[in-house]
Amino acid sequence: MTAFRLYLIIAWSVLITFTAFVIGRDGLNLLPVFFGDIARGHWAGQFNADFLSMLALCALWTGWRSGWSVAGWVLAVAALLFGGTFLMAYLLILLHREKGALRAVLLGVHAGDGGAVRRWSD
């Protein structure tokens, strides 16, 4: 768990530094570039589409683990908009708060169901 935490800290620091560099060079208007690459249909667009699907998956997990409470919705939107910058910090906070219990980190409000079998549609 220490290696995972160390990775999160290093990766988050590198990502924040690189993001600050890019914002300083190109500004904050990333949507035309991001969706423009997707619209052009080349490899950069494929990468952006793949990344967008991972952002959506991260947002869905974040909202679900919080039981889609108001806080869960806010966190889900943050996950969608801020990606790895949000997720790495969020995981560090969860690992600390849950004292490294991965079941609680991954399942959130669903961790206390005693391992009941659930259908995929639940």
Range of the domain at 90: 2-106
What is the number of domains present in the chain? 1
Q: What is the pLDDT along the chain (122 residues), one digit of tens a residue?
A: 789 999 999 999 999 999 999 999 989 988 899 999 999 999 999 999 999 999 999 999 999 999 999 999 999 999 999 999 999 999 999 999 999 899 999 999 998 865 554 555 55
In a domain, 91, yes or no: yes
pTM: 0.83
- 117, part of any domain: no
Sequential DSSP letters for 26-94? H-S--HHHHHHHHHHTSHHHHHHHHHHHHHHHHHHHHHHHTTT-HHHHHHHHHHHHHHHHHHHHHHHHH
Q: Is residue 112 part of a domain?
A: no
Q: Give dist(CA 4, CA 29) in Å, integer.
A: 33
